[in-house]
Amino acid sequence: MRIIRAKDYDDMSRKAANIISAQMIMKPNCVLGLATGSTPIGVYGQLVSHYQEGDLDFSGITTVNLDEYRGISRDNEQSYYYFMHDNLFSKVNIDLKRTFLPDGMEPDSAKACQDYDRVIAETGGVDLQLLGLGHNGHIGFNEPGPIFKAQTHCVKLAESTIKANRRFFASEEEVPKEAYTMGIKTIMQAKKILVVVSGADKAPILKKVIYGEIAPDVQASVLQLHGDVTVVADEAALSEI
Ligand code: GLP
């Protein structure tokens, strides 16, 4: 794993956006795997700035997102579809027909998962996968558990994740309890992986991810087995390393 030390959140965002920009310049028709959560918001802001300055072209890019809440419609402000449009897709010249997320409104979970795996396969595979890190070490919504799940699957969100998401919803009942997420095999098949981590609250889990045992109770620890992972973390997140 390559670890890049950033001064703070802004520096982390700029460094990560520069890595994604380099990928897009080197391969203008590349497939980007994208993530949600608060950590990558600054990265998307930087990419939009690069686009506005005329330095980036999204017209040939395909995107596949890691996950989506189950049972939430695209026009719900908390859906990941909405998040991606709000933070990136509506602000750059991307072809919306080539932006993909799991279909949160598909009630047949087996179908939703199979459809999404087919979509990912049809893109030809992810060139660069952006990841955030959950406090419990989850990537996408691959929550701690007894195994690593390979393919797209429907997850019951961990209690801690539901609590962490509570701040985005008006009431506890509205917080989704399930989500569709890309599996670990699909994430690991990305040619390159870029993990962004910010804040002292992520320092203990980041230490486990990088130096701990490779085990499914910290799903991101599996990244130690990938040949091309770059972690861009700020000093607060790296404070235990
Ligand atoms: C959600 C997403 C993850 C993300 C995580 C961390 O659970 N499904 O992909 O990495 O949140 O979020 P944050 O960056 O807000 O800490």
Q: Which residues contact 22 (CB under 8 A, 6 or more apart)?
A: none
Q: For residue 228, indicate whether it is catalytic.
A: no
pLDDT in the model for residue 153: 97
For the stretch 93-124, pLDDT in tens is 999 999 999 999 999 999 999 999 999 999 99
List of the chain residues with pLDDT < 50 = none
Angle, alpha carbons 224-228-232 (nearest 5°): 80
pLDDT in the model for residue 172: 85
Angle, alpha carbons 143-145-151 (nearest 5°): 65
Ligand 1 centre distance from Cα of residue 133 (Å): 6
pLDDT in the model for residue 170: 87
Q: From the alpha carbon of 66, which atom of ligand 1 is closest?
A: 9
For the stretch 27-51, pLDDT in tens is 999 999 999 999 999 999 999 999 9
For residue 89, the 8-state DSSP code is G
Q: Which two tokens stand for residue 11?
A: 């520096």
Q: Which of these is catalytic: 57, 106, 115, 136?
A: 136
Q: Is the pTM of this model over 0.75?
A: yes
Rg for the chain, CA atoms, rounded? 17
3-state helix, strand, coil in the chain (%, to 5): 40, 20, 40
Q: How many CA atoms, within 13 angstroms, populate the side-chain half-sphere of residue 87?
A: 22
- Whole-angstrom CA distances from 130 to 8, 175, 183 are 18, 24, 14
Distance CA 150, CA 142 (A): 10
Mutate which of 12, 138, 154, 159 for ligand 1 pocket (most atoms within 8 A of beta carbon): 138
